[in-house]
Amino acid sequence: MISNCWCFAARGVTEAELAKELFGNRAYQQRVNSTCRRLIQQGRVMRHGNGGPGDPFTYHPGLSKPSGGRQKQMIGPAYERGVAVGGRLQNIIVYQKIKAVWVATGKYMDDDHQAEGPTANAAAKRWQQWATYKGNG
């Protein structure tokens, strides 16, 4: 049933949409919150947005290790972290692509962006610099 939701993958799926798909019209998003957080920790789902009515969290297929070689490979679990951009906290996903390459990915001002670095902190810093530059431009 959940695979039907991924047709929204380009724009992401909200918790309310997931709940409705899984539990029907009388569902409420709190039923899927803990499951979504667990899937994020496992790297199976990525979350974008700040949460709230104007910018709800949206969920996208994750970057977990591929079984058929179609998804991007990573050697460790993805995790979510916040970076400050223009005085606001932005959520990004950071994962280790290969031994010496980390990737930070996230959405800012309607643009998805990935930045790489030799450490998780370096990748996050590069993503933050990109977002700051984009916000000032």
Domain range for residue 38? 1-62
Domain termination site, one of 16, 33, 62: 62
Low-confidence residues of the chain: pLDDT under 50: 1-9, 65-71
CB count within 10 Å of CB 41 equals 13
Q: pTM for the full model?
A: 0.51
Q: What's residue 11's pLDDT?
A: 67
Residues 83 and 37 in one domain: no
Amino acid at the residue 39: L
3-state secondary structure of 48: strand
3-state secondary structure of 73: coil
